[in-house]
Amino acid sequence: MRTMRGAMQSDTIAAIATPPGVGGIGIVRVSGEAAFSIVLPLFRRPGGEQTLPPSHQLTYGRIVNPRSGEVLDEVLVAFMRRPHTYTREDVVEIQGHGGPLVLQRILRLVLEHGARLAQPGEFTLRAFLNGRLDLTQAEAVMDVISARTEAGLQLAMQQLQGRVSARLREARQTVLGVLARIEASIDFPEDDIPTPHADELRPHMLTAQRMIDELLAGAEQGRLYRHGLRTVIIGRPNVGKSSLLNALLRSERAIVTPIAGTTRDTVEEVANLRGIPLHLIDTAGITPTDDPVEQIGIQRSRAAAESADLVLLVFDCAEDFTAQDRQVCEELLRLGFGRQDKVTANGRAGRPVILVLNKIDRPRSLPLEQVRRFWPEAPLVMTSTLTGEGLSQLEETIANLVLAGRALQDDSVLVTNLRHQEALRLASQHLQAALATLEQGLPLDFVSIDLQAACHALGEITGETASADLLERIFSEFCIGK
Amino acid sequence: MTNEAGTHSLSGEGQQRDTYEVIVVGAGHAGCEAALASARMGRKTLLLTMNLDSIALMPCNPSMGGPAKGHLIKEIDALGGEVGRNTDRTFIQIRLLNTGKGPAVQALRAQCDKQAYRLAMKFALEAQPHLDLKQATITHFLYEQGQDGRPAIRGVVTSTGWQYEAKAVVLTTGTFLNGRLVVGEKTQPGGRAGEGPSLGVADSLRAFGLEVRRFKTGTPPRIDARTIDFSKTEPQPGSRVPLYFSWDETARADVQLPGGRPNPVYPVSDEDLHGWRPQLPCYLVRTNERTHEVIRSNLHRSPLFNGLIEGIGPRYCPSIEDKVVRFAEKASHQVFLEPEGWRTGEVYVQGMNTSLPEDVQLAMLRSIPALEHVEIVRFGYAVEYDYVPPYQLMPTLQTRAVAGLFLAGQINGTSGYEEAAAQGMMAGINAALYARGEPGFVLGRHEAYIGVLIDDLVTRPLSEPYRLHTSQAEYRLLLRADSADLRLSDYAYRFGLIDEQRYARVLRKREQIEQTLGRLSKLIFTSSRSVESAAREVGIAPLGQMTSARDLLRRPETHYTQVAELARRVYQHEESADAEPPLPALSPEVAQEVELQVKYEYYVQKQQQLVRQAQRLEGLLIPESLDYQSIPHLRTEARQKLARLRPRTVGQASRIEGVTPADIAILMVYVEKLRAAAKAVS
């Protein structure tokens, strides 16, 4: 198991330190020996000052990609010298205002400049191992690590289903194939195995690199990130749809942008959920009516619903299950919503519905079993837009559906997990280095060094270990045993 | 004290007894190194063998070395072991393999005289102070209950009732535990052709609670050289330049081959016989469709395919029937005909490993043009044997179940003489240390292939007999065969395994390398006309600009001797002739080391950085008594695997399959918690 190659100490780690989706300000935390030397070149202050700012003080400036000159965000940065820091190592905290998406780009920049993505609970672990936390806190540290990992693992596995993992395995097998040819000729020089030439290896290495780069490009430009998730808020009148919309937007007020051209019938706004744009569409309703003006609104609502990736179906907790509620439910079922495991007539997977029982601040009278008769398995969240109760749980539920890949309408190859992206980036870098070694005409042994590393990086995502796989490939492809 | 299944306590019968510090049972490649190491460390040592005429026998190919295996020999040699020296005394051919594939994967391979090898090793044992060599068969162990609750070994009992007492016992019984030989439809008990099995010991090990499983391996037929048509073979000569395994140059002068010309049936050239050392070629032939047809039509009679053999064989050493079935599209396979010695007509048929019936073996060989009239002198056979899955060992090769009992070699499920010798070396050192209550000796994966081998054995599950490959070493560039002395001599000297003189030579080599590297950086050449013309004269491409000697050496095509010559011409012309040259004259070995460290600096540093990172975890020791059940945060799979393998360090734990980074983080917190708690108490 080489996932611990980075070890737990000594190297410099980075992660977003603020919980996702809370407030406009986020922090990227960097800890370790190289924390200062990694961040300083990315940080530009007014006047061009380049020395290290005084320890433990917030300094204003911008985060700039030194290669492209692109400004990522205006930030406040604190450089904190050990040992008076959370981890007792040199720590840098970058406070950004640009929201989660920008924060992720800052983090990625830090990773590209030599930091390693922190494992779950690793800052706390370092704090403990460096004597910053006392013994009684050890149990708590272990709780944190195991809890976060369980959740993380589950999500990561779910994301890897389908085409992403197939593409990943294919890329890894391609690298492994090149490695097997090299290693077979090295380990069995007297067998009937030809020494591979650069010209035979290069195309396979380029293919693997292209596959990996495509996966990476998908991660950054995938439909989800480009277009966001179309989330339609539906329910009969007066259940609190608009206030739910506003409540969801409020938590991300800094980055709300009204979309031009919205009508009074469907209001569309964009919130940001863990880096994914959430297009919230408030509809006038989709129940039949005789009013010709409302008719137009209903058609628009229906069109909106049909194109939605996800539906938030809102009920009023304080009232009975009305005929209008029933009509909304029937209409949604007809449109093919909520059957998550089934494929609808047009070939698309059934789109999920989240049941939102609003107004829980008032006495409850909605019979839940009536709702459940229509939606036996849909996730259910109780909210109060008045008190704000349940809103973070709703965000969590949406995020889980999205990251689990269940709310995606197209089959674009998409890597959403930052850890996976980081592993892909490393794999791509190593392949690049291996190709450079090959071009320099160095012996095969040197080419294999970076190929091994690329294989390990990809194996960290797929959970496969190289050495057993490699021998398997060698023995299945080459007749060994002279 | 109970008397379990052939395991006797001290209070038993037995009037005849002797006392040693370390006893080694079995005198194969593992046993010889173990006994020599222990005796060289000054321990009173006994080596017991079932047959004094089978010491260090090579029941398979009389070949030593190759990638990874050759590295092991150099490392054993650096630690003061015998296998390298003994190979140098007795090889009849030597070659350097992988010359174009990178300096770290180059490896020596030698073909030995099988009988000379055995006799030379016996002689080395007989010459060793503190070591007694006796012929005896072990039937059971002496032990008592140790303070920690587990049995502690106290010695062994022979079939004739002699009791030999010792504080540590190293068991190196090879394939002899319940060995069973299989040829075609016939089977018979035995550890090697012509030798009976050892039956009681496996039962004794089981009684100690050790799990025992079964592997199989095989060997090809040997043929009569007089019946080979050598004109239809392709000779494969040995190296035309001197090559040796050992840093101990006395072995080179101590050639122990039978005198005179080799068996005259072998066609040899003048170069073979009158070069730097007389050598014999090997002879290459190939199988053909007819051979494969003979095999295919007799598959139902192969014990590997008809179910007579159940043990798992090695993938890297398949039988010819296996190769023909699995690689059906291959029209032909290589077969090397290798003389088994200088004065024998017995020829090893490399690549024809088989357990097909004797008539089929003959028919398939005779389908090859050079072998149309061949006669087989010994038939190929498969052997099935018991081994002790090595997860039950600590990295010192001591069993976890029995204090003071060490296992080394094929008994641990490995294959190969070199793998056996390496384990023997380490078990011998550790038994010697244990006998005096000193802490154990474990080599890291970054220090030696020996470290990779043993760490793999105690950490990873075995699905076939273990053979070391260079691809198993993650820091291959740091484990070059030629740097084994630089890596391991400090240990060897500390344990008394190499003498003052030999150690001084290593220190000098190290110093020379460092000094030269320093000077290379400081020495600057301008691009003046005189310098450029001197460069041209020594064959260096134009400098073009001011260049350090180090940067010049970094050029792929430039060698140290050229740079040193340029430096001499540029900087020494006015000085007196006897002044020290600006760059020292170096032996080829040292020059190569310097070149390597300069030319491949980037890659070397990259691997060194990985080592430094990994070392943080290697340095975190896990208490042997850790109760994994008491760490509820670990995932169940991780908890079970850790409890079974009981890793010595957090680093080792991190290499166990199915243990995640989060498990390791939790383990670190827990180990740290225990340490802090222990400190608080004291």
Question: Given CB atoms, is B116 within the 8 Å cutoff of chain A?
Answer: no
ipTM entry: 0.88
pLDDT above 60 (res B630)? yes
Answer whether B669 sits within 8 Å of A129, measured CB to CB. yes
Residue A157 Cα, gap to closest chain B Cα (Å): 14
Tokens coding A379: 């996730």
Q: What percent of chain A has pLDDT over 70?
A: 71
Distance of CA B589 to the CA centre of its chain: 22
Helices B560-571 and B529-538, interaxial angle, to 10°? Answer: 140
Q: What are phi and psi of A116, to 5 degrees?
A: -115, 145
Query: A403-432, pLDDT tens digit by residue?
Result: 554 444 334 445 556 777 888 889 999 999
CA distance A396 to A401: 9
Determine the residue among A145, A440, A462, A476 to mutate to test chain B binding: the one whose Cβ has the most chain B Cβ atoms within 10 Å. A145
Amino acid type, A130? N
Closest CA to B273 of B301, B235, B232, B222: B235
Using alpha carbons, list the distances in angstroms from residue A429 to A11, A69, A424, B454.
Answer: 19, 21, 9, 32
Q: What are phi and psi of A95, to 5 degrees?
A: -95, 120
Tokens coding A282: 């408030």
Contact present, B299 and B355 (Cβ < 8 Å): no
Which domains does chain B show, CATH number per domain?
222-380 (2.40.30.260), 507-603 (1.10.10.1800), 619-681 (1.10.150.570)
Least confident of A449-458, B36-45, B628-637: B628-637
Q: What is the pLDDT, as a whole number, of residue B69?
A: 97
With bands split at pLDDT 50, 70 and 90, how would you rate the model's confidence at A228?
Answer: low
Q: Which of B 352-371 lie inside 8 A of A, CB atoms?
A: 353
Which domains does chain A show, CATH number per domain?
13-142 (3.30.1360.120), 163-221+416-477 (1.20.120.430), 224-403 (3.40.50.300)
Query: B110-135, pLDDT tens digit by residue?
Result: 999 999 999 999 999 999 999 999 99
Tokens coding B279: 């050598």
Amino acid type, A390? G
Contact present, B225 and B347 (Cβ < 8 Å): yes
CA distance A27 to B278: 74
Spell out where A235-358 has E strands: 257-258, 267-273, 276-282, 310-316, 353-358
> How many helices (H) does chain B have, and how many strands (E)?
23, 25
Q: Which residue of A4, A129, A482 is in closest CB contact with B661?
A: A4
Query: B432-455, pLDDT tens digit by residue?
Result: 999 999 999 999 999 999 999 999
Chain A and chain B share a number of CB contacts under 8 A equal to 172
With bands split at pLDDT 50, 70 and 90, how would you rate the model's confidence at B63?
Answer: very high
| Kind of pairing between the strands at A257-258 and A267-273 | antiparallel
Least confident of A116-120, A284-288, A470-474: A284-288
- Is B293 in a helix, a strand, or coil? helix
Closest CA to B422 of B470, B482, B476, B467: B467
Burial of B494 (0-12, 13-18, 19+ CB in 10 A): exposed
| B chain contacts of residue A201, beta-carbon cutoff 8 Å | none
Amino acid type, A168? L
Q: Which residue of B101, B477, B669 is in closest CB contact with A128?
A: B669
List the strands of the sheet with B186-189, edge to edge: B186-189, B180-183, B381-387, B213-219
DSSP secondary structure letter of residue B4: B
Q: What is the pLDDT, as a whole number, of residue A8?
A: 44
Residue A453 Cα, gap to closest chain B Cα (Å): 10
Answer whether A465 sits within 8 Å of B657, measured CB to CB. yes
Closest CA to A112 of A463, A451, A421, A452: A421
pTM: 0.81
> H-helix or E-strand containing B531?
helix B529-538
Least confident of A16-30, A63-77, B145-159: A16-30
Distance of CA B138 to the CA centre of its chain: 26
B584 prior amide bond cis, ω within 30: no
**What is the per-residue DSSP string for B542-556?**
P--S-EEHHHHHHST
Mean predicted confidence (pLDDT) in A442-471: 84
Tokens coding B511: 């110093």
Amino acid type, B146? G
φ/ψ bin of B250: left (φ > 0), alpha (ψ from -120 to 50), beta (otherwise)? alpha
CA distance B245 to B252: 9
List the strands of the sheet with B282-286, edge to edge: B234-236, B282-286, B334-339, B346-350, B222-224, B376-378
Contact present, A408 and A309 (Cβ < 8 Å): yes
